[in-house]
Amino acid sequence: MKTIAVLTSGGDAPGMNAAIRAVIRYGIHKGCKVYGISRGYKGLIEGDLAEVDLRSACDIIHRGGTILRTARCEEFMTEEGRRQAATVLRVFGVDGLVVIGGDGTFKGARELAKLGVNVVGIPGTIDNDLPYTDYTIGFDTAINTVLDAIGKIRDTSSSHERISIIEVMGRNCGDIALYAGLAGGAEEVVIPEKGQDMEKIFRELLESKSRGKKQSIIILSEGVGEAHELEKQIKEKTKMDSRSTVLGHIQRGGSPSAFDRILATKMGATAVELLIQGKTARVIGIRNNMIFDMDVEEALGVIKKFDSETYELIDILAN
Ligand code: ATP
C-alpha cells in the first residue's frame, strides 16, 4: 500500500476542494493511505498532518476556499526548511505528495523532488499565470465572478451615463481582465502584456462619446495600475463622469464553476495515478481539452504567448 499526502499552498482558488476530494477518494479507491496536510508547506514543516478517510471529502466539492487551508511559508524557501519538510514526510511514511497551488508552490515542489520526495503538482490559482497549461483551477470561476460584477456595474453605469473602471486581480497576468472583458463586452481592457497607453484610452472614450455612446466599461488588471488613479485621469482628460470599483477578494471566493470542478477532479485523480506509478517532479495541465503531465522544471520555463487576437477583437467590438 502506498501512502500519499495532499496540501494546498499560495493563494486559495475555487476548485481546490474538488481536487482534494479527488485525491482523497481516488487514492483510497486505489488502496492508498491518504494524509491531509494543513496550511501548505508551513503545516508540512510543522508536522501538521492527519490521515483522512472517505468521509473527510464529504460535502466539499461545491465549496470555495480549501478545507486544508493555505499559507505562504518563508521557512520553506530555505534548504533547512525543506529538509525538515522531507523529514516529516519520511517519519509519516509518505511515499508521494500532491501539491495544489501556483508557480511558487511548483518551485517548492521542484526543490522537494531534489531531496528525493516524490511530488506531483496541480495548478490551482485564479490568475491563470502558468503558461504550460491552458487553464488553472479557479480561473473559470474567477472570470464568472468578474462577469457577474460587470453586469451589475453596467446597469448602474448606463443609467447614469458613466465610464466604469473595474480593477481585477491577476498580478502580472492579464488573463482575468482579458477574458472577463471579452465575455462582458468591455470597451477597454488594460493589461500588463500590453502596458498602459492612456492617451489611446482617452482618445477612444472621446471618440465613442462623439458616436453617441454614453457609457463604457474599462477592465483594469491590477498589474498595470490603480483604478482610482485611472478614474481621476479620465475625469481630468475627458471631462466624462467616471467611477471605479476594485473587486478584490470576492474574485477568490465562491462555489467553483462546473468547469473548475471537472478540471480539478480529473487532475486530482491523475496526480494519484502518477504517484502510484512512482513518478516525481511532474505537474499536471490541460491543453486542447486533454489532461497531460510534464516535468516541473520544463513547465516553469514555458513562456506565455500573448493572445493578441482576443485583445484586438475586444477593440473591434467596442464600437
Ligand atoms: P498564487 O499564484 O496563488 O500566489 P503560489 O503558489 O505562486 O500561488 P507563492 O506564495 O508564490 O504562491 O508560493 C507558495 C509557497 O511556495 C511560498 O510561500 C513558499 O513556501 C514556496 N515557494 C515559493 N517559491 C519558492 C522557491 N523558489 N523555492 C522553494 N519554495 C518556494
Q: Which residues contact 185 (CB under 8 A, 6 or more apart)?
A: 150, 154, 217, 317
Q: Is 127 a catalytic residue?
A: yes
In this prediction, residue 1 carries a pLDDT of 67
- CATH of residue 7: 3.40.50.450
Residue 287 and residue 223 in one domain: no
pLDDT(39) > 80: yes
Full residue range of the structural domain in which residue 285 is found = 3-138+256-300
In this prediction, residue 228 carries a pLDDT of 95
pTM above 0.95, yes or no: yes
pLDDT tens column, 257-315: 999 999 999 999 999 999 999 999 999 999 999 999 999 999 999 999 999 999 999 99
Which CA distances in Å does 114 have to 82, 257, 295? 10, 35, 13
- Annotated catalytic residue, options 12, 127, 140, 175: 127
pLDDT tens column, 145-186: 999 999 999 999 989 989 999 999 999 999 999 999 999 999
In this prediction, residue 113 carries a pLDDT of 98
Q: How confident is the model at residue 234 (pLDDT cuts 50, 70, 90)?
A: very high
Residue 285 and residue 194 in one domain: no
**19 domain-assigned:** yes
- CATH of residue 219: 3.40.50.460
Ligand 1: does its nearest atom lie under 6 Å from the Cβ of 141? no
**315 domain-assigned:** no
HSE toward the beta carbon, residue 192, CA cutoff 13 A: 16
In this prediction, residue 294 carries a pLDDT of 98
In this prediction, residue 14 carries a pLDDT of 98
How many domains does the chain contain in total? 2
Residue 81 and residue 31 in one domain: yes
pLDDT tens column, 86-124: 999 999 999 999 999 999 999 999 999 999 999 999 999
Residue 116 and residue 265 in one domain: yes
Mean predicted confidence (pLDDT) in 185-191: 95
**319 domain-assigned:** no
**306 domain-assigned:** no
Burial 272-284 (b: 16+ CB within 10 A, else e): bbbbbeebbbbbb
In this prediction, residue 318 carries a pLDDT of 87
Ligand 1: does its nearest atom lie under 6 Å from the Cβ of 105? yes
Question: What is the DSSP code string of 197-241?
Answer: -HHHHHHHHHHHHHTT---EEEEEETTT--HHHHHHHHHHHH---
Ligand 1: does its nearest atom lie under 6 Å from the Cβ of 70? no
Ligand 1: does its nearest atom lie under 6 Å from the Cβ of 103? yes
Residue 78 and residue 122 in one domain: yes
Mean predicted confidence (pLDDT) in 24-29: 98
Residue 214 and residue 263 in one domain: no
| Cα separation of the two ends of the chain | 62
Residues making up the annotated binding site are: 11, 21-25, 72-73, 102-105, 125-127, 154, 162, 169-171, 185-187, 211, 213-215, 222, 243, 249-252
Residue 49 and residue 81 in one domain: yes
